A and B are shown apart, each in its own frame.
Chain A
Amino acid sequence: MRYAKKIKLVNKLGIHLKAAATFVMTAEKFKSEIKVKYNNIEADGKSIISILSLGAPYNSEIEIITNGSDAKEAIVKLEKLIKNKFGEKE
């Protein structure tokens, strides 16, 4: 099963260190392969260094691609996380 969804980054700092850490922690709970795409560059959603290297800032749009047995739950959870500003206040 493969899902893809474009999501806007609403937290002030974009995918910075702590946000990336939270993202990876969530992603690692799933068996599916998880990719994050920004600016035509694809990063491994379970590698913090890889995600950080995207440098996706505030208000930019990233695409989450999940692929595997729990791909649907994964993409739902990750979308929620991003919309919740990675659990940050702003």
Chain B
Amino acid sequence: MMYKGIPASPGIIIGKVFIISKNLEPVHTEKIKVVNPEKEITRLKQAIEKTKNEILLIKEKIISDIGNKDADIFNAYIMLLNDKSFVEKAVNLIKDESVNSEYALHMILQEYVKLYSNISDNYLKEKIIDIKGLFEKVIKNLSEEPSKLFPQKGKWIIVAEDLSPADTAEMDKKNILGFVTETGGATSHTAIVARSLEIPAVVGLKSITKQIKTGDLAVVDGEKGIVLIDPTPESLEDYKREQIKYSIKINILKKLKKLEAVTLDKHKIILNANIEFPEEVNVVKEHNADGIGLVRTEFIYINRTNLPTEEEQFLIYKSIVEKMSPKPVTIRTLDIGGDKFLPYIKISPEQNPFLGLRAIRLSLSNVNIFKNQLRAILRASAFGKVKLMFPMISTIEEFIASKNIVYEVMDDLKRKKIAFDENINIGIMVEVPSAVIMADELAKISDFFSIGTNDLIQYTLAVDRGNEAVVSYYNPLNPAILRLIKKTVESAHKNFKSVSVCGEMAGEPHLAFLLLGLGVDELSVSPASILQVKKVIRNVNFKDAFQVAETILKMEKAEEIKDLLYKSVKSYLINK
């Protein structure tokens, strides 16, 4: 049986699957089936022990602080936790119904609540609060030791509905062959962890956990997004050969890790990584990127119901910056709106959200949120090399207004004697055609440019790439796009500023060759693409790439451009 999902991490693996079919949120009292009730009982008993120890500590403290008189109550609490009727009930519930401890405790507590509601004496009735409090303490202690439903022995392909950072943290990484999940996309947590572990992953396979079972033999092809269950002997042989080919390819790429991104004729390209989650920094470092060209800060804001605090943000930025130091980290301010929304930032309904209140426009109309983020970024700049970048700048005034807010925040930090880098570079994303047209002027006041190709293509060609009917219009090799990139590079270089490309375009080897020829100084790609792009750069001459780009800039049709580019890469790439 073959299943097709979204490729999330490359590689081919053959092995047995282990299904994790439960909602893995830590603290909750909903009913969950546990695979191993015995383990669950141990987990409950440990949580009860822990709670008892905590109470004993409080008791000792009270005795030493105010004497023995009030310490008796703690003996009663410990007795409640030792109460055989309660412990037995919980153990039996877990044993008989294979439920989680939280649910068992919740059910028993409900029983007591009902029982106590019959008490007529109000003073005695209220004592249920003490019992509730104790149960809550135990439940809290359970959450610090989440149900271990992960395989303890053997090597497995992990199949789950979804995997959270807490889940993957729990697993013994050595024993994971690959991941298959029902939810998620190429940038989901599962994908990122898989890529950092360099194991294959396929995501977005709806209801896969219900269609296969633990122990099934499977092939996971993370490059094509294929999961094959119970493969025939022939296809198994095919995949074994593929696996060998892939590992040879990877070993060649791995040799590139320590090497610089420099062409055969010694033209240095700065090769950066785009990241979305702090965990990705490890892969970035391991692949020896020159820096981080784009930190997408949206990840801090999404999947929550309230605004992240300055401190929260600061700690995240600081950890990224410190880990990367002395290499530079470019942090982009919030790029929300368009297709991403936050429940706690209200925007009136828009007819055309992509032409609406998004990115820097949203920040400028919510100055407090903007300042909050800027303070966090600026404070992090004291711990390494930070560059600040605004998304979707479309006018000069907008950029000046944004910079003025930065200066206001800087003044405030100075007054409060809080450290930050006073010479921090401030640049813009060039992703709206008007910014390219005004690039000469913008380059005078911007420390750097970073071209966001995804949006630049979308806005220039008036095409929504999510729309199937017009998706063929979305073409990075459209001559209009290439000329805009060239114009941006020229304007920047005239003003001695550097240009980076941080869209998806930079990560595709052919397009990377063309961008090199167009004079782009830096490429910022997903961590998984670093080695591939490095390989292309190290095996071509800059002068060839430049020649090809010059010829292409004179061409009119995307098809012809593609033809010439692919042929050129084929012929100029030494050492394929």
Contacts and interface: CB of A to CB of B under 8 A. Distances in A.
Contacts of A53: 112, 115-116, 119
Contacts of A24: 79
A47 B116 CA distance: 15
Contacts of A50: 83, 85
A47 B83 CA distance: 6
A77 to B, nearest CB: 18
Nearest to A20: B76
Interface residues of B, number: 23
Contacts of A14: 121, 123-124
A29 to B, nearest CB: 14
Interface string B85-106: 1100000000000000000000
Nearest to B86: A49
B79 A55 contact: no
Interface in A28-77: 44, 46-50, 52-57
Contact of B84 (A18, A20, A47, A54): A47
B75 interface: yes
A16 B72 contact: no
B72 A49 contact: no
Nearest to B130: A17
Nearest to B119: A55
Q: Is the interface of B mostly helix, strand, loop or mixed?
A: helix
B85 A52 contact: no
B85 A17 contact: no
A49 B121 contact: no
B83 A48 contact: yes
A53 B121 CA distance: 11
23 contacts: A14-B123, A14-B124, A16-B127, A17-B76, A17-B127, A17-B130, A18-B76, A21-B76, A24-B79, A44-B85, A47-B83, A47-B86, A48-B83, A49-B85, A50-B83, A53-B115, A53-B116, A53-B119, A54-B119, A55-B121, A56-B124, A57-B123, A57-B124
Interface of B: 72-73, 75-76, 79-80, 83-86, 112, 115-116, 118-121, 123-125, 127, 130-131
Given A50-B85, A56-B124, 19 more contacts: A13-B123, A14-B121, A16-B123, A16-B124, A17-B76, A18-B73, A21-B72, A21-B75, A21-B76, A25-B79, A47-B84, A48-B79, A49-B112, A49-B131, A53-B116, A55-B116, A55-B119, A55-B125, A57-B124
